[in-house]
A = this chain, B = another copy of it.
Amino acid sequence: MNAPDKFTSLLTLTREPFPASHKCVIPGSRPDLFVPVRDVQLTNGETVSLYDTSGPYTDPKVEIDVRRGLPDVRGPWIAERGDTESYEGRVHHALDDGAKNEDRDAQRLAELRAGASALQRTPRRAKSGSNVTQMHYARRGIVTPEMEYVALRENGKREWMAEYLANEERAKRVAGNPMGASIPRIITPEFVRDEVARGRAIIPANINHPEVEPMAIGRNFKVKINANIGNSAVTSSIEEEVEKLVWAIRWGADNVMDLSTGKNIHTTRDWIVRNSPVPIGTVPIYQALEKVGGVAEDLTWEIYRDTLIEQAEQGVDYFTIHAGLRLPFIHLTANRMTGIVSRGGSIMAKWCIAHHKESFLYTHFEDICDIMKAYDVSFSLGDGLRPGSGADANDEAQFAELRTLGELTQVAWKHDVQTMIEGPGHVPMHMIQSNMDEQLKHCHEAPFYTLGPLTIDIAPGYDHIASAIGAAMIGWAGTAMLCYVTPKEHLGLPDRDDVKQGIIAYKIAAHAADVAKGHPGARSRDDALSKARFEFRWQDQFNLGLDPDTAREFHDETLPKDSSKVAHFCSMCGPKFCSMKITQEVREYAAKKGVAEDQAMSEGMEEKSKEFMAGGGEMYIPIKAVP
């Protein structure tokens, strides 16, 4: 293993800004509240401002030292609320990095641990009797800085809107079909508060993750995407994982889940959380299982509880908890094509069967709520019984669990704990809408967070595409966050390029959903790019795209010369003939002559056509009528 080289690569994180882009901020109501956006400078003098998930990494002015972690964004806001206290925190156990020590490189781990403990913050928690969730504040009418941050971030710079609103017809066209969503033209902090209060949106922001740039997950906000990273028993290393984080948010991951299951699991998480400007989610049962040597039946509530506190202290923003997978549902999977495919789900199923007992996640759900509200960790209620193939989609096992997640949502809300609901999985197109309908019906509009869904099962190697189709559709239907699928799904662990491919596919799906829903502002980027395309502003076309590097590279393959970047043609038709160019002539034509006459001809034709249709007589052949 060439670990030292990989470690070095961590110290040279991808830091280049995007082409023709610079980081700007939208100032808020207080000097320590400003929301970063990416401004793309076009060659025609215009600027397009984009939602930016990449954090300080794309800002060359910011010095970053991964050994110290990112700057504190929310510290003062948390402190001034006066409802938290710092405390010594849980004592670090050897087991936290997994039970199996024998195969570890002791020296390297010691080195990494040393780095991680320099990173570790003194944990905070709610003072006794306090509840520090954003939902709790929201329900008491408090607009937190986090809520204002989200409002500013969702709006972006809305200069473009003036133009849109001026053009009634375009505004109508851009309106989309919101499919039941209610997205206001301008997102106010008060709107954010209201959405969080009623549980229709969450702001995952653990008080121990002050580095996070707040964001919202909810159907009345932009559709978000999640990327998974994580080591594994088979391959990967901590260094790779942190670099994957930076890489994932560069391309647009709004959230990142650390799904590590192998060695150094605690230490990996320290590195990731301290260096992450986006919310981090985990599946705590993975680590708990490591602590009992991988033997599911040896899991206990105490070990699990301790793991929740460990991760909450580290700053994890949301936990996937498969509390809806109940003992009575397990037998419903027996006749499935592909059984239980959720890893967390199968761990709990195994435990339930071994003990013939109800899941301890279910029986201790209120105890879990008590932990969540002390740190503001959000629930991501896991779908342990999601279908693993189209054949198992929407079956009784899946929906029995979903209804239970709805019950648990009400329990969580009783504690003011922010909650979202995980969804499938593998679902053919015609069965997607009913997933959304069932979720809305049973889960009281808590945000839906789906994995894909994959619309077919025959595309191993291309499941990012098979699932982007389902993701776009369910995003339009109201899903708030889409968990990405990479080309390696079902086959292996994603590498750097796979992560990027998965993210871009999901940015496409999420954006397609925003456009279809009529999210205000979603279309401005499309329109700017289309205009650039029409006007042969090649550089602008590349720079406004989701991946300027690849667009430019593809263009260069056919026409590498710099001069062709300003040429009024492209490689599809060549220099001699260009359809876009001809359109410009059409405009001149339409502007100066012939139109009235054409219009008359058009109306005449239509008239004759109608006469024919009405008469039911011999076919009217328009050809004859033309001089």
Instruction: List chain A positions with a Cβ less than 8 A from chain B.
Output: 170, 173, 176-177, 232-235, 261-262, 289, 294, 296, 326-331, 333-334, 336-343, 345-347, 349-350, 353, 356, 358, 362-366, 388-391, 393, 400, 404, 407, 410-411, 414, 428-430, 455-462, 464-466, 468-469, 472-473, 476, 487-488, 490-493, 495, 504-505, 507-509, 511-513, 515-518, 523, 525-527, 529-531, 533-534, 541-542, 544-547, 550-551, 553-555, 557-559, 570-577, 579-580, 582-587, 589-591, 594-595, 598-599, 601-602, 605, 609, 619-623, 626-627
Contact = CB atoms under 8 A, between A and B. Distances in A.
B558 A340 contact: no
B469 A391 contact: no
B491 A338 contact: no
Given A362-B626, A473-B429, A508-B469, A333 B586 contact: yes
A375 B575 CA distance: 35
A89 B573 CA distance: 31
The interface centre, meaning the residue of A462, A559, A622 with most chain B CB atoms within 10 A of its CB, is: A462
A574 B233 contact: yes
A531 B390 CA distance: 11
A516 B429 contact: yes
Contacts of A582: 296, 339-340, 346-347, 349-350
Contacts of A602: 326, 328-329, 400
Given A411-B619, A509-B469, A516-B430, A462 B504 contact: yes
A333 B526 CA distance: 19
A431 B358 CA distance: 47
B583 A331 contact: no
28 contacts: A234-B571, A262-B574, A289-B577, A294-B577, A331-B594, A333-B586, A337-B530, A338-B583, A339-B534, A340-B583, A346-B579, A364-B623, A365-B623, A366-B623, A388-B530, A407-B622, A429-B512, A430-B515, A430-B518, A457-B526, A458-B544, A459-B546, A461-B547, A462-B504, A462-B550, A466-B508, A487-B554, A495-B557
A459 B235 contact: no
B526 A456 contact: yes
- Copies of this polypeptide in the complex: 2
A127 to B, nearest CB: 25
A462 B400 CA distance: 38
* A-B complex: 10 closest residue pairs judged by Cβ atoms: A339-B583, A328-B602, A233-B574, A492-B558, A334-B590, A389-B530, A346-B579, A429-B516, A461-B550, A457-B526
Contact of A579 (B170, B345, B601): B345
Contacts of A572: 232, 343, 490, 492-493
A56 to B, nearest CB: 24
B414 A619 contact: yes
A508 B456 contact: yes
Given A391-B530, A458-B526, A558-B234, A587 B358 contact: no
Contacts of A488: 554, 557-558
B472 A534 contact: no
B328 A609 contact: no
A341 B579 contact: yes
Contacts of A574: 232-234, 261-262
Contacts of A559: 234, 492
Given A512-B455, A523-B391, A571-B492, A338 B544 contact: no
Contacts of A460: 529, 541-542, 545, 551, 554
Nearest to A470: B512
Given A389-B530, A461-B546, A465-B465, 8 more contacts: A176-B430, A326-B602, A328-B599, A333-B590, A430-B516, A465-B468, A466-B508, A493-B558
A355 to B, nearest CB: 11
A529 B457 contact: yes
Nearest to A547: B461
Given A468-B468, A554-B492, A605-B328, A458 B579 contact: no
